[in-house]
A and B are shown apart, each in its own frame.
Chain A
């Protein structure tokens, strides 16, 4: 089933370009190798969840998707925008102009574990800032889009509040609206509920579930196993920088991979 794309004649390939395509990604920190040869694709309109123990490299992998971390080797394509790293295709990293990085980042926006809202901007300001600065959109137009997405996550009434006045769950919902307002091809979630108390977790998971039902393309790192199983089309178990198991949630939960079984056991 993991037939390489080159094996399929182009004319017969009726599948649309995948939203995310990662090939042979490698990432080192000095001596430490965090990712070794990671490849996967995320199809348009599907949800992929990366699970794994702390230190398995899953956050690094997610951060590579919008170049907050620069992979050392491999190839990455987001919505058709293809970039190569390291020695695979000559010196391609030098061709990574600011404009390309910007395009890539604008089409894969991130929701952070710690929300990372900008405290000196209002809720509305937080959501409209990236379209204004990156897309050069007029402020009033960006505000309209921002309000639309704030409504979507149920935060429109708090548009004029500052982040410090919001609960963690509300802040994370604003952060989701901020990521949506760039109208990206894929949403990246980096442990979106890990900083929340149990009561707030459901409030945020509810929003993410709605987005999944809407057919948004999403790539998520989470420790919420039950949730991952419920919403994901694809589950990737990452273990020490390698994909230990991947497939539908059922396949991964039934995987023969010893470490995967042990990791999942408490949730299954």
Chain B
């Protein structure tokens, strides 16, 4: 095992950049993706027919094709097409359309939107009708009922699934190395090509991913635990417990 390359400031810089990009991509696409998911879910339940069909179609295509293919499709396909447009020659736009990060976050956002949109749709549908009706009965507007009563309840119901999706998302990030974005895997690839060491860089980024996953899991568990209305889990660490969500019959 030869880890002497770790002393090289250039390689360190690659790794740090890869780590930061990974976290940025995760952050951007999970936030934007969740917003998209809320939109997709509510449109499919309450939206006008054509919009509901559109959302259904998008969700079917995104969930029915490999993420890697989508990444190529947006970066090499749509990306090259857009570059030909006159608008794309201008400063800000030009940079954006050349940036693999843009295509990676676009693809990942759509993916999160489609997958968690379905999860959220199921959760929204399983919130007892009476809770929404109570909101209406007191004079809350449909939007108020959705934002303050219906959606928080649905999120509460599917929170464990949502956190699982986040962890899967984290581990999809290395795919972006294929479109020349500097993530951890791309950093490892560069190090491999220059030092002819295959396993050591891979081992390092595997360890980093494991660490990220553990940290993310711990953070998300705290979120789950402190989400309003969740039953606090009081028993000790050696006792098994069932996941519990407060529920009213």
A116 and B134: CB pair below 8 A? Answer: yes
Stretch at the interface among A14-22, A102-110, A227-235, A240-248: A102-110
| A262 contacts chain B at the CB level, 8 A cutoff | no
Distance to closest chain A CB from B121 (angstroms): 19
Given contacts A115-B248, A119-B229, A164-B231, contact A133 B133 (CB under 8 A): no
Q: Which of B130, B137, B141 contacts A98 (CB 8 A)?
A: B141
| A53 contacts chain B at the CB level, 8 A cutoff | no
| A118 contacts chain B at the CB level, 8 A cutoff | yes
Q: How far is the CA of A134 from the CA of B135 in the complex (A)?
A: 10
| A61 contacts chain B at the CB level, 8 A cutoff | no
| A45 contacts chain B at the CB level, 8 A cutoff | no
Number of interface residues of A (CB under 8 A): 31
Contacts of B247 in A (CB 8 A): 119, 164
Interface band, chain B: 20 to 34
| A92 contacts chain B at the CB level, 8 A cutoff | no
Bitwise, A145-176 to B at CB < 8 A (1) or not (0) is: 00000000000000000111100000100000
A121 and B138: CB pair below 8 A? Answer: no
Contacts of A114 in B (CB 8 A): 128, 130, 248-249
B137 and A110: CB pair below 8 A? Answer: yes
B228 and A121: CB pair below 8 A? Answer: yes
Q: How far is the CA of A70 from the CA of B164 in the complex (A)?
A: 43
Contacts of B67 in A (CB 8 A): none
Q: Which of B144, B153, B227 contacts A118 (CB 8 A)?
A: B153
A119 and B136: CB pair below 8 A? Answer: no
Contacts of B138 in A (CB 8 A): 105-106, 109-110, 129-130, 133-134, 178, 182
Q: How far is the CA of A115 from the CA of B246 in the complex (A)?
A: 15
B229 and A164: CB pair below 8 A? Answer: yes
Q: How far is the CA of A109 from the CA of B144 in the complex (A)?
A: 17
A130 and B140: CB pair below 8 A? Answer: yes
CB-contacts of B123-157 with A (<8 A):
128, 130-131, 133-141, 144, 148-149, 152-153, 156
Q: How far is the CA of A110 from the CA of B134 in the complex (A)?
A: 8
A106 and B130: CB pair below 8 A? Answer: no
Point out residues on B near A: beta carbons under 8 Å: 128, 130-131, 133-141, 144, 148-149, 152-153, 156, 227-229, 231, 246-249
CB pairs A–B below 8 angstroms (21 shown): A66-B137, A98-B141, A102-B139, A102-B141, A103-B139, A109-B137, A110-B134, A115-B248, A116-B128, A116-B131, A116-B248, A117-B131, A117-B134, A120-B227, A122-B228, A130-B139, A133-B144, A133-B148, A162-B228, A164-B229, A182-B138
Which 7 A-B pairs give the minimum distances between C-beta atoms? A164-B246, A116-B134, A105-B139, A130-B138, A120-B229, A116-B130, A102-B139
